[in-house]
Amino acid sequence: MSDKVEGYVKKETMLLIAAAALIAGFLAGVVFSAMQSSPGGPPAPTASQQQPAPSQGMGLSPEQANKILALQQEVSTNPDNAGAWAQLGHIWFDTSQFEKAIHAYNKSLAIRPNDPNVLTDLGVMFRRSGQPVKAVESFDKAMGIDPKHEIARFNKGIVLYNDLNQQAQAIQVWEEMARMNPLAKAPDGRLLTEFLKDVKERQK
């Protein structure tokens, strides 16, 4: 996947350890993030602005609190700034503020609906907030825009396997991913084909 999507530069890829295991005693269920950040985002507020930072009780670092304040100021002034809404969503993502992240990502997507990375991160937040069906819908939308979006495709399999008890469908999703890219890898670094072999063996 390209590091640049619709003007965004790849920020980081995270592994979020899920509560349920993908296969008991084998591999913890994980979901990938496709977080993006705008290279020209709004600056952090200065002390002279005399505005309180968001509550530190949310588990925010001072840097995150200041960035949230700057982004909130930006979207208040420029509510059609899809990149600022997405960045705000990323901070809420990082601090496990699921509903706030979902709100910010939806704001971004209302302006720029065809961003597969934001759709993928929205899906992760839906999954972590206990809404697996909506998570799959978001991953499907991302894949509809970019059929080669491996993060969305792998995540869809994770949610189908762990949360919706649709193991056969999950395997089909990963098999399709392996056909599209024989060199695709699972979270533990193995080729996806090897990962699939183990999944199938443990289902026997």
Average pLDDT of the chain is 78
pLDDT in tens, 40-86: 333 333 222 333 445 444 667 888 899 999 999 999 999 999 999 99
What is the CATH number assigned to the segment(s) 20-35+62-202? 1.25.40.10
pLDDT tens digits for 8-34? 222 332 333 222 333 433 444 556 676
SS3 content of the chain, % helix, strand, coil (to 5): 55, 10, 30
**The one-letter amino acid at 29:** G
DSSP 53: P
The one-letter code for the residue type at 79 is P
Domain boundaries, the chain: 20-35+62-202
Q: pTM score, two decimals?
A: 0.76
Return the pLDDT at 47: 29
